[in-house]
Structure 1
Amino acid sequence: MSSNGAIPHHPARRNSLKVCSMGSAGAPIPPQARRYGVAQSPRLQVLIVSASSRHGDNARASKRLSCQLLGCSSPFTLNCLGVLSPVAHRARLAAYQEVMSDIDRKRDESTETLVIPAQYRKAKKLSWAGRFYDVLDIEDREERWLLYKLDAVLVTFMSAGYFLKYLDQTNVNSAFVSGMKEDLGMYQNQLTTAITMWTVGYALGQIPSNLLLTRVSPRWWIPFLELVWGLCTLFSYKIKTYQGLYAVRFFVGLAEAGFYPGAQYILGSFYKPHELGKRAVFFHTFAGVGTLCSSALQAATYSGLRGVHGLSGWQWLFVIDAVITLPIAVAGFVFLPPLPGQREANKGTFWLSTREWTIIDRRIAEIGRAPANQMTWARFKKIALGWHIYVLPVLYILWNNSGNASSIMPLWLKSFNTVNTGTGLRYTVPQINHYVMPIQGVYIITAWFFGWTSDSLLRGRRWVWPAFTTILNASVCLALANLPLYKHIKAHFVLYYLTQVTGGMSGLLFSWANEICSADNEERALVIGLMNDLAYVVQAIVPNFTWKQTNYPKASIGLYYSTGLSLTFFFWIFLTLYLHKRDQKRAQYAAEVTTVSPDSESIEKEVLPELPEQGSEWGRMAREVS
């Protein structure tokens, strides 16, 4: 033992030594540390471990820093500490810990920035105020003001446009139960066929429209679509036969095709993961508002305008819908901006400055969302061989086609007037239009809850609520299929009101797709278009066999069909999650292999100058070595 009580290190015992780590005496030496020698003093409990076990490819810098700070000329002379005083040990240990924590911080920053690809990083953790409105968590005043403006224009316009789209899409159902059935002689499957014709047009237009948006500014394309479907809706009041209705509904569907997938693609081009879900869901719920207002509007026109200027109530509904639609289309030409990367070819809007476009570009780069790029054969081949364009559209097909049970309720209520139900209940047309309204109310409230919690509490985990609601939907459909049609009336009402709890998942599924396909702009546009398109292709064909008008209001086949789709959707969610996690691990591994970390010299130059100038022996030795 030396004169100061320290135990000198013996070379023969190099690999059998134990170390004391701040009170945890006796811990085994890490294998990476044994090569370089470890000094110990039971009295002082000093830990000297090569940082290779903690800092990976920065090990050389960490070893040199350890030697310098602890007064050693090389890693193999660390045993010199055995003869140093307790005061010197404590001073050097404090300095060592400070520098190591600094290297830890720098390494963590390097890992977050380089090793984990941007598109796979976890969504930002929000404060309680930010969970309600995430803009409140933005510290930069310019960025916060930018988000206020984007919300005021993009979210407001998309919500208003989708409200009108759904108003014009579903008004045919309200018109059907308000006199159009009798006026046009639609006593067989004509309503289903009319809806199918709209769906065919809708399916044909989506993919070309979404791909066109990668090259043409939304400022010109989206309002043009709104003008077309508004005019077609206006012409609907003049039709005299159900064959004419088929033609008009086809062109309404063709024009409306580009709006919803285009809106989801546009929102995904401006917002981060912790911002996107709630906005995608919020604007999607205006479909429910459109359906809600269509029922209320039809009830009002049926009662107040029927017979005015010789028009039926259902004809006035088409006129009023068109009058509301056309001004919103004109506003789109004024306010909608081009997409990031398009402003060079398409003039920007007056409400976004050059500085704000710079902030937008930075925000999108931070999450790894690629801008528009030239399509090449190699990129096309990569997209075609990937799983995104196959798995994600099936995911949406399963969801989209499993939620049709809500369509039964108005026809079930109307059947009380034509069938001897034994209940003595009868419902007027205004009552039918009003009683179905809570379906959309439940849908809107639950969708907002799911969207906000997906961004905040769940931090971008898009799969949780779809998995929950699809099991609920399967249970509701099974219950409706097995309940006697005209018994347990209150139970029927409750179940019908629950049929659209799953309706709010569309925004979350598209947010998920935007995030999964972040690295390729054209793939993202294509996948979003395919998801909505193929879902409606299936909807154009299958309802003719599973949701026949003649099977209403019981519709047992359709209910069992929806149950099967809901259960399949549940398992498909976890398949998608597995594939996405697999891609994340592969991308992270590739980034770890290719990442060029700062070399040891640069780290030493960054860290060592921050050490306090001290006149003690350890400071002098460290400076001499460096």
Structure 2
Amino acid sequence: MGKAEERNGPYSQDPEASTIDSQEIVKPIRSWKGYIWDTWELPKDQRWLLFKVDAFILTFASIGYFLKNLDQYNVNNAFLSGMEEDLGMYGNQLVTSVSIWTVGYIIGQIPCNLLLTRVSPRWVIPSLEVGWGIATICLSAVKSYKALYALRFLVGVFESGFYPGIHYMLGSWYTPREIGKRAMMFWLAGYIGQLFSGFLQAAAYQNLNGVHGLAGWRWLFVIDGILTLPLALLGYLFFPNLPQNGKKTWWTTEEEHKLSIRRMEAVGRVGKEKWTKAKAKRILLSWHTYLLPILYILWNNGGPQPAMGYWLKSFNSHPAPLPGTTFTVPQINNLPLTSTGILIVIAFIWGWLSDGPCRGARWPFIYAGAIITTLFTVLMLKMPLYENIYGRKVVYWLSQFGFGAGPLILSWINEICSDDTEKRALLVAMGNDLAYVVQAVAPNFVWKTTDFPAARKGYIYSLVLQALLGKFVAEVSGQS
């Protein structure tokens, strides 16, 4: 078997045929319909294939990430809704619980993503969901913050392979004119989950607090876990194999299976290759290995931590910083959600512009995000906490306006590393993994719970990372 067949399976084409495929399969966008949504301009066979792929990959992944973020961020909503008092978390226990979750998240990411190059995602991804769903339900029964720590670690381990694994899957099915929007939609589904978590906690607090002897914050964990498990079970049936692993997914025809392989070949996206010393050395000495993950590390850690909830809760302190102004638990949960809603709209526009009018360019949006985030970080650092109350609310609401670059960074890695699927899987996971290594450590020093709502050290830290992000974007765009 030749090199191309070994890497790409039995449907690989010769170089001349690949050129023809490239011209026929990946055409430039030519009409307004293609700019609005890429499949509207594609031939019928590709349009129907991508309809299926969107239905079974993008829909499953987006709902799964929505639920993952419910299960990841519910601890913050629970903390603001009674868990702090019930478990005696009056120090930095919340930050510690987040750091412990992050340790579990770090451990599993790279092994899980490399596993996807060898074991079908149809079995790996749903199994991870089952694990974190069960662990989340168990959180409803914790009696101390030490038990909370142990279960949060397990949630982190099971959630670790989902986000980088889905980005690797998107890079295995979609071309550069398609991947940016879909990566953004997938990522934004998680933000919708984070947004919905606040509404869900408010509803649980108002309607279920005390039912069957459980506090409202405990019901949040029960509901989140129960929502997760049915989707995980459906994943075993509907989630696909990789196009080039030689095994057809049941909901594609034989012709669609061959087409999915040719589409990836047309953009230089290769199949699996055996690990050898030469391959390991090639990856180790590649500039990709060192510069690309740094982009995601800086982006992930450079955004200011959400502080509006702590600021709102601080009005209820004794002595009150502004006598006569207080906020209820539902208000503390719901008012910060406006910033998430704004981010969802702006980030989707960025993904659409990046794929279409900007012809797959990723770096301008990463660079612009760093500039915008720097501006709002300076405002949050310099504005008085308790003078212009409405003005500070607006700044908090707009503070995530520039934070939409993350999915485009991972799409960029998928595209730059098209010619080596193992390196692609490794670097997508490495960027996310090392970002969380920093996140496991840094908040204990720069984003201490006791420093909120002022958090001066944290905002200065964000400004430094945004400056570095701009520098590294320029470096990578010059190299690629």
* Structure-1-length-normalised TM-score: 0.72
1:192-591 pair list within 5 angstroms:
192-344=95-247, 348-405=248-305, 407-418=306-317, 419-422=319-322, 424-580=324-480
Q: CA deviation at 1:311?
A: 0.1
Q: Secondary structure at the match of 2:405?
A: helix
Question: Which protein has greater RCO, CA pairs closer than 8 Å, 6+ apart?
Answer: 2
- Separation in structure 2 between the aligned mates of residue 212 and residue 553 of structure 1, nearest angstrom: 42
Does structure 2 retain, via aligned residues, the 8 Å contact 1:305–1:316? yes
Does structure 1 retain, via aligned residues, the 8 Å contact 2:29–2:41? no
Does structure 1 retain, via aligned residues, the 8 Å contact 2:283–2:289? yes
- Separation in structure 2 between the aligned mates of residue 183 and residue 172 of structure 1, nearest angstrom: 13
Does structure 2 retain, via aligned residues, the 8 Å contact 1:281–1:448? yes
Does structure 1 retain, via aligned residues, the 8 Å contact 2:373–2:403? no
Specify every segment of 5 or more residues in structure 2 that has no aligned partner in the other structure, as ranges. 1-15
Cα distance, 1:126–1:499 mapped onto 2, change above 3 Å: farther
Q: Are 1:130 and 2:29 matched, yes or no?
A: no
Q: Secondary structure at the match of 1:424?
A: coil
The letter of the residue matching 1:417 is N
* Among 145, 163, 172, the residue aligned to 2:48: 145
Q: Deviations over 1:548-602 (max 9, x none)?
A: 111011001001110111111011101010111xxxxxxxxxxxxxxxxxxxxxx
The letter of the residue matching 1:212 is L
RMSD: 1.7
Does structure 2 retain, via aligned residues, the 8 Å contact 1:199–1:539? yes
Q: CA deviation at 1:479?
A: 1.1
In the alignment, what sits opposite 1:155? 58
- Separation in structure 1 between the aligned mates of residue 77 and residue 27 of structure 2, nearest angstrom: 41
Q: Which has the larger radius of gyration?
A: 1
The letter of the residue matching 1:502 is G
Q: CA deviation at 1:423?
A: 5.5
Q: CA deviation at 1:499?
A: 2.1
Aligned length: 461
- Separation in structure 1 between the aligned mates of residue 391 and residue 445 of structure 2, nearest angstrom: 27
Q: CA deviation at 1:126?
A: 4.3
- Separation in structure 1 between the aligned mates of residue 403 and residue 151 of structure 2, nearest angstrom: 27
The letter of the residue matching 1:239 is V
- Separation in structure 2 between the aligned mates of residue 168 and residue 123 of structure 1, nearest angstrom: 41
Does structure 1 retain, via aligned residues, the 8 Å contact 2:297–2:435? yes
The letter of the residue matching 1:232 is A
* Structure-2-length-normalised TM-score: 0.94
In the alignment, what sits opposite 2:4? none
The letter of the residue matching 2:286 is G
- Separation in structure 1 between the aligned mates of residue 372 and residue 61 of structure 2, nearest angstrom: 29
Q: Are 1:175 and 2:71 matched, yes or no?
A: no
Q: CA deviation at 1:376?
A: 1.3
- Separation in structure 2 between the aligned mates of residue 127 and residue 373 of structure 1, nearest angstrom: 38
Does structure 2 retain, via aligned residues, the 8 Å contact 1:123–1:274? no
* Identity value in percent: 48
- Separation in structure 2 between the aligned mates of residue 568 and residue 143 of structure 1, nearest angstrom: 41
Does structure 1 retain, via aligned residues, the 8 Å contact 2:369–2:404? no
Q: CA deviation at 1:177?
A: 0.3
Does structure 2 retain, via aligned residues, the 8 Å contact 1:123–1:460? no
- Separation in structure 1 between the aligned mates of residue 418 and residue 76 of structure 2, nearest angstrom: 38
Q: CA deviation at 1:421?
A: 2.0
1:3-14 pair list within 5 angstroms:
none
Specify every segment of 5 or more residues in structure 1 that has no aligned partner in the other structure, as ranges. 1-109, 581-626
Q: CA deviation at 1:349?
A: 3.3
- Separation in structure 2 between the aligned mates of residue 544 and residue 266 of structure 1, nearest angstrom: 33
